[in-house]
Amino acid sequence: MSTGIYLFCLTPAEPFPEIAGTGIDGEHPLFVEITGEVAAVLAEVHLEDFTGPEAQPKMEDLAWIGPRALRHEEVVLSAMEQGPVLPVRFGTVFSSLTAAAEPLRQRQDILMKFFRETIDKKEWTLKGYVDRPQARSRMTAVRLAAEKEQLAGLSPGKRYFLEQKIKGAVDKDVAKWLKEMERDILTIAKKMSVEFSECRLQSQDVTGRNEEMFFHGALLLPDASMEILEGMANEWNKRHEAQGLSVELSGPWPPYHFAPVL
């Protein structure tokens, strides 16, 4: 089998990162290679696992990818505990050490600027959830109550059609209301974070929750602001839980959403 070089993440060369253990295959040891002022956390891999016809079935097999992706994240988190880190996406493989070092040599200024700007900062994820059936039921009741007198004076047939019209308008009411809640959360997120990145909403199959996700963002947050943001999120939940709304804060993560494109 041919040997390639798997890249986990980049860190400043000083202080030298202390990395131990094996790479994603549990076979080849981790090692650190210095290029200028940048340290790369690496491990050898079998190239056939990532390129060519033999790799395709593996890259489509969650049972194969899962534990390797988990090990990738563990290595990046270990580096993050020691200082600023630029995480590299799972499956980044080079043909040789020379090939891996070349882009680092060309982008020293960009990388060191990123490390300086992310010292004492972490990525956190903020998600907003809504119990949509509860929201629809609440808003339907409000609309029907407002039209109570008009409904009382109608024949059963006309009353039925007006009720259906009201219920149809509720979906627009819910959408408008959620946009207002989204702006409210966004204001908090941008106020507390150094940078903010909007993320794709996840389906209930992915989240495993009964509630529907309506907000999803990544925050680059100074370590000193963490407790303040947690307090604001808890307060927001207390004010809105009766409406079927909640926000969830998770982290810290490596700054995937804020890393420069290499």
Beta bridge partners of 195: 220
* pLDDT tier at 261, thresholds 50, 70, 90: confident
Condensed to tens digits (0 to 9), the pLDDT of residues 186-235 reads: 999 999 999 999 999 999 999 999 999 999 999 999 999 999 999 999 99
**The residue to which tokens 């002022």 are assigned:** 37
* pLDDT tier at 54, thresholds 50, 70, 90: confident
* Separation of CA 94 from chain center: 26
Closest CA to 116 of 19, 31, 14, 229: 14
Q: Domain 121-133+173-258 carries which CATH code?
A: 3.30.70
d(CA 166, CA 109): 60
d(CA 157, CA 138): 24
Kindly report the pTM of this predicted structure: 0.81
* pLDDT tier at 57, thresholds 50, 70, 90: confident
Side-chain-facing half-sphere of 243: CA atoms under 13 Å: 17
The boundaries of every CATH 3.30.70 domain in the chain are: 121-133+173-258
pLDDT beyond 80 at 241: yes
Side-chain-facing half-sphere of 234: CA atoms under 13 Å: 6
Average pLDDT, the chain: 88
Condensed to tens digits (0 to 9), the pLDDT of residues 133-171 reads: 888 888 777 666 655 555 555 556 565 555 566 666 678
